[in-house]
Amino acid sequence: MRAKESADRLRGRIGAAIVERVAGPAGPARRRVVHDAAGERWFAEDRPVRRVHGDSSMFAGGIRALLLQSLHPLAMAAVAGHSDYRGDPWGRLQRTSYFLAVTTFGGASDAQDAIARVRAIHRRVTGTAPDGRPYAASDPHLLTWVHIAEADSFLRAHTAFGARPLDQAGRDGYVADMARIGAALGVPDPPRTEAELTARIEAYRHELAGTAQARDAARFLLLRPPLPLLARAPYGVLAAAAVSLLPGWARWPLRLPRLPVTEAALVRPAGHAMTGAIRWAITAPRPAPAT
């Protein structure tokens, strides 16, 4: 019994540290907003989006999404020019995690408020990319790229590392669920099946490039994250797992190697183990049966 109690305390400390890093100091209050809100939700409890966004595979999926999004020069210019991803990367992560939580699990009115805040921010994000082209975060074309890169990354990470991967109907359902969030953000006609999502990404490939800004962001994200020493090895496993999920055409512009044998034999199993460990840590232990 003492060994179990010690294990549970360790599990609680690790889980609390992970949640605090991802959700920030306001995490407990935000959790109450998300889970205790009365009234209608956008998504019922059995919807695929809840299964995907509630799984620890999102850690790898989030890294992949950032890498993939960086390949659009205008989207990357907007991030570089208006997002303090270097000075406050955890703040950015915490804001993103809250947005995903409230739109997926929260009350409909809270989800709509979060959408309105993001759209207001997007209207202020404008500028000129290093290649001279103007950009605007509210541009429907750029919004679509950011949306499909996220949806594809979260879905692929869940398929590879999720506790309960979805079947084809479930994967199509996830894309359809994400379409509701994307449409609310201003994405015109977002894809609603996995096949449509794949086709939409393919249609953007001629616009993508590994700019100096994108490669610099990738180096920061993969090699120089602001983490304490003890957290760097676990993060490195997640980062390697995320890179293993990128197609070859996305790796080359970012100068990321492709090592099929190593990834199959080492990286993917390690990714499974790490996402499983995170899942164990952030899931509350079951109470002991009454005696």
Radius of gyration from C-alpha coordinates of the chain:
19
Give yes or no for a contact between 98 and 115, defined as CB atoms under 8 angstroms apart: no
* Phi and psi, residue 128, nearest 5°: -125, 130
pLDDT value of residue 281: 82
User: Is residue 289 in a domain?
Assistant: no
User: Is residue 61 in a domain?
Assistant: yes
User: Is residue 80 in a domain?
Assistant: yes
Q: Is 261 left (phi over 0), alpha (psi -120 to 50) or beta?
A: alpha
Q: What are the residues whose beta carbons fall under 8 Å from the beta carbon of 64, sequence distance 6 or more?
A: 153, 156, 157, 242, 243, 245, 246
pLDDT value of residue 14: 59
pLDDT value of residue 249: 97
User: Is residue 161 in a domain?
Assistant: yes
Residue 28 and residue 47: Cα distance in Å, rounded?
24
User: Is residue 288 in a domain?
Assistant: no
What is the domain count for the chain?
A: 1
pLDDT at 231 over 90: no
pLDDT in tens, 150-208: 999 999 999 999 999 999 999 999 999 999 999 999 999 999 999 999 999 999 999 99
| Closest listed residue to residue 27, CA positions, set 214, 242, 282 | 282
| Closest listed residue to residue 126, CA positions, set 74, 61, 164, 89 | 74
**Band of residue 91 on the pLDDT scale cut at 50, 70, 90:** low
User: Is residue 3 in a domain?
Assistant: no
Q: Crossing angle for the helix pair 89-105 and 2-23, nearest 10 degrees?
A: 100
* Phi and psi, residue 277, nearest 5°: -65, -40
User: Is residue 233 in a domain?
Assistant: yes
DSSP-derived 3-state class of residue 134:
strand
DSSP 57: T
Task: Supply the mean pLDDT for the chain.
Answer: 88
Q: Is 190 left (phi over 0), alpha (psi -120 to 50) or beta?
A: beta
Question: Which structural domain range is residue 190 located in?
Answer: 10-282
Bigger pLDDT: 28 vs 126: 126
